[in-house]
Amino acid sequence: MSENYQKVLNSERFKKLIKKRWTFSFFMLAVLFVVYYGYIFMIALNKDFVTKKVGVYTNVGIIMGVGVILAAWILTYVYVLWANNVYDKEVEEIKKEL
């Protein structure tokens, strides 16, 4: 383990990066939980709302199901955008100090 490694390990910048990474991850996970469990609990507890018709035959439940699938994809994509544009840039900067 070189001296530079130790310096980076103890640097505020590196500690901040790790904190930022997990804050963002857990925030995204929380959104995912809200979206998915919101859907599931709505089905379990509020049948009247879920069975309400949107248009002639389609109902709220079907729209919500499609919505959760799309939301899962969007969340994944947002994470990658963040990782590529924010996290990776910071990583490259820190790597220069090694």
Partner 1 sequence: MEYKFGEPNLVAIGCFVAVVILTLIITFLVARKQKQSASNYYTAGGGITGFQNGLALAGDYMSAASFLGISGLVALKGYDGMIYAVGWLVGWPALMFLIAEPLRNLGKYSFADVVAYRLNQGPIRTASAIGGLLVLLCYTIAQMVGSGKLIELMFGIPYIWAEIIVGAVMLLYVLYGGMLATTWVQIIKACLLLFGVTILTLLVLAKFNFNPGNLYGAVQETYGVEMLNPGGLVKGPVEALSLGLALMLGLLGLPHILMRFFTVPNAKEARKSVVYATTFIGYFYLIIPIVGFGAAVLVGKSAIMKIGSGGNMAAPMLSQLLGGTPFLGFIAAVAFATILAVVAGLTLAASAALGNDLYVSTFKKGNVTESEKLKAARMSTVIYGVAAVALGIAFQKQNVAFLVALAFSIAASANFPSLFLSIVWKKLSTTGVVMSILFGGLSAAILIVLSPTVWVTILGNSAAIFPYKFPTIISLPLAFIGAWIGSVLVPDKAAQEKYEQVKIRTYLGVGISDASDH
Query: Which residue number, 12 or 57, has a Cβ lying nearer to partner 1?
Result: 57
Q: Is 69 in the site for partner 1 (CB under 8 A)?
A: yes
Tokens at 4, concatenated: 């530079």
Which residue carries 């901040």 as its tokens? 16
Question: Is the CB of residue 43 less than 8 Å from the CB of residue 50?
Answer: yes
Interface residues with partner 1 (CB under 8 A) are 1, 5, 8-9, 14, 17-18, 21-22, 25-26, 28-29, 32, 36-37, 39-41, 43-45, 47, 50-51, 55-59, 61-62, 65-66, 68-70, 72-73, 75-77, 79-80, 83-84, 88, 91, 94-95, 98
